C-alpha cells in the first residue's frame, strides 16, 4: 500500500503520503466490515411503513381550534387581553391584503397583514361590561352638585383638551398627540377693568368675545406633559402681567385710549346737564343728584348706544340704536 501511494503521488512529501495511505486503509477496512452479511441493515423494527395500514389517531391531522369552537363560548376567556392576531383562535372568515390575480383577498391563515395592525378583539361588549362591573367597587357616586354642565363649569372652570391616536406606523407616538389645548372663561378670573383690557391686549385673537372663552394651545415641546406645563405657565404669566400697572399708564389721556369710556367723558357730562335743564324747565328746580340721573334706565340705554357707536363704528344698527335712545330720552316716542 505504501508503494502504491508513492507511485500515485510522486510529487508530494513523504509525510503527507503516509497520512493519505493510512486514511485510505481505514476507509477500506470500514467498507469491508459493512459489507459482511451479519451487518447488513434491514427494515427497522417498530417504524410504520406506507403499507402498514391507516395511521394511528394520535398522528392524524388535527382539526383547527377555530373550527372546534362553540357558538355560545365565553369569548373574553378566549381573548382576555390585547394580543397579536392568531388565526387559530378567531372563528371568523377574516381576510386582509392585496387581492392577487383579480381574486379575493388572502385568507387569515399565514396572513402577516393581520398581524401588523392592532385589533380590538379583547374589547367586545361583553368584556367591557365585565370590566365595568369589576371597576364599580372602586368608584364613588357622582356629586349631586354637578348634575348640570353649568355647575361643572362653575366648580371646574379650567378645561384641558388632549387627543390620543390609534395608528399603524413605525412609531406608537403620533406627532399630534403632544398638542395640549387649555380653555377658560375670562369671567372666571378675578380681573378689574384695567387688568381685563390689558389681558385682552396680550392674548390677541386667542379670546372669543361671543363665548367669553380664552384658548391657549401649546405644541412646541415634544411631550404632552411638557406642553401641559407650558400652558399652565402661560396662563399664570398672563394673569400676573395683566395686574401690573406701569408708571407711564398713569399719564394716559382719553385721546390715547383705543376705545371710548363713558365714565367721566364729555358725553356723560352733557347728558347730565341736559336732564337737569329739562327738569328745571318743567318743575322750576332740579333736586336730582348726578348718580340718580346716570342710573336712569333711559340714560343707560343712551349710554350703551353712544359706546357702541364710538367703539364699533357708525353702522346702520348703531345709528338706529342711537336715534331710538335719544327719542326715548326726550320723550318723543
Dump pLDDT digits (tens) for 76-126. Answer: 999 999 999 999 899 989 999 888 888 888 889 889 899 888 889 999 999
Range of weakest confidence among 22-26, 299-303, 309-313: 22-26
Contact 213, 203 (CB under 8 A): no
Contact partners, residue 221, CB within 8 Å, separation at least 6: 178, 227, 230
Query: Cell match 399565514: residue?
Result: 110
> Higher pLDDT residue, 217 or 268?
217
> Is the pTM for the entire model greater than 0.75?
no
In this prediction, residue 230 has a pLDDT band, given cuts at 50, 70 and 90, of very high
Range 140-154 average pLDDT: 89
Report d(CA 242, CA 196) in Å as an integer: 7
Range 59-79 average pLDDT: 86
Question: What pLDDT was estimated at residue 212?
Answer: 92
In this prediction, residue 274 has a pLDDT band, given cuts at 50, 70 and 90, of confident
Question: What pLDDT was estimated at residue 234?
Answer: 96
How large a percentage of the chain has pLDDT more than 90?
31
Q: Are strands 207-208 and 159-161 parallel, antiparallel or unpaired?
A: unpaired
Contact 186, 216 (CB under 8 A): no
Range of weakest confidence among 3-17, 118-132, 164-178, 183-197: 3-17
E-strand ranges in the chain read 159-161, 180-185, 207-208, 213-218
Range 240-252 average pLDDT: 86
Contact 108, 90 (CB under 8 A): yes
Checking if the pLDDT of 58 tops 70, the result is no
Question: What pLDDT was estimated at residue 229?
Answer: 97
Checking if the pLDDT of 32 tops 60, the result is no
Alpha helices in the chain (DSSP H): 2-8, 14-34, 65-68, 75-78, 112-116, 125-135, 149-155, 193-203, 224-242, 266-283, 290-294, 297-312, 316-329
Question: What pLDDT was estimated at residue 2?
Answer: 43
Range 30-39 average pLDDT: 52
Question: What pLDDT was estimated at residue 60?
Answer: 73
Alpha carbon 62 to chain centroid, angstroms:
45
Contact 235, 282 (CB under 8 A): no
Question: What pLDDT was estimated at residue 292?
Answer: 80
Range 184-192 average pLDDT: 92
Determine how many CB atoms are found less than 10 A away from the CB of residue 73: 11
Largest CA distance in the chain: 160
Amino acid at each position: 500500500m505504501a508503494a502504491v501511494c508513492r507511485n500515485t503521488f510522486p510529487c508530494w512529501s513523504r509525510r503527507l503520503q503516509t497520512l493519505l495511505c493510512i486514511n485510505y486503509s481505514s476507509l477500506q477496512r470500514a467498507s469491508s466490515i459493512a459489507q459482511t452479511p451479519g451487518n447488513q441493515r434491514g427494515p427497522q423494527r417498530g417504524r410504520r411503513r406506507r403499507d402498514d395500514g391507516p395511521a394511528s389517531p394520535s398522528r392524524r391531522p388535527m382539526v383547527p381550534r377555530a373550527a372546534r369552537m362553540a357558538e355560545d363560548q365565553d369569548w373574553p376567556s378566549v381573548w382576555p387581553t390585547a394580543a397579536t392576531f392568531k388565526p387559530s383562535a378567531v372563528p371568523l372568515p377574516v381576510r386582509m391584503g392585496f387581492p392577487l390575480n383579480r381574486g379575493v383577498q388572502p385568507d387569515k391563515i399565514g396572513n402577516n397583514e393581520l398581524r401588523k395592525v392592532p385589533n380590538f378583539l379583547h374589547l367586545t361588549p361583553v368584556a367591557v361590561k365585565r370590566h365595568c362591573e369589576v371597576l364599580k367597587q372602586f368608584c364613588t357616586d357622582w356629586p349631586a352638585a354637578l348634575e348640570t354642565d353649568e355647575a361643572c363649569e362653575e366648580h371646574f372652570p379650567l378645561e384641558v383638551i388632549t387627543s390620543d391616536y390609534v395608528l399603524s406606523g413605525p412609531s406608537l407616538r403620533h406627532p399630534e398627540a403632544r398638542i395640549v389645548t387649555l380653555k377658560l372663561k375670562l369671567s372666571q378670573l378675578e380681573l378689574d377693568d384695567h387688568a381685563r383690557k390689558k389681558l385682552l391686549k396680550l392674548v390677541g385673537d386667542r379670546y372669543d368675545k361671543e363665548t367669553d372663552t380664552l384658548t391657549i394651545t401649546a405644541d412646541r415641546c415634544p411631550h404632552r406633559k411638557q406642553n401641559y406645563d407650558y400652558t399652565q405657565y402661560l396662563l399664570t404669566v398672563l394673569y400676573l402681567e395683566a395686574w401690573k400697572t406701569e408708571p407711564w399708564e398713569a399719564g394716559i389721556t382719553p385721546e390715547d385710549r383705543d376705545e371710548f369710556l363713558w365714565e367721566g367723558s364729555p358725553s356723560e357730562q352733557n347728558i347730565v346737564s341736559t336732564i337737569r335743564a329739562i327738569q328745571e324747565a318743567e318743575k322750576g328746580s332740579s333736586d336730582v343728584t348726578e348718580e340718580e340721573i346716570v342710573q336712569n334706565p333711559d340714560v343707560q340705554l343712551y349710554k350703551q348706544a353712544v359706546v357702541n357707536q364710538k367703539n364699533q363704528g357708525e353702522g346702520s344698527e348703531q345709528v338706529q340704536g342711537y336715534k331710538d335712545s335719544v327719542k326715548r330720552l326726550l320723550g318723543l316716542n
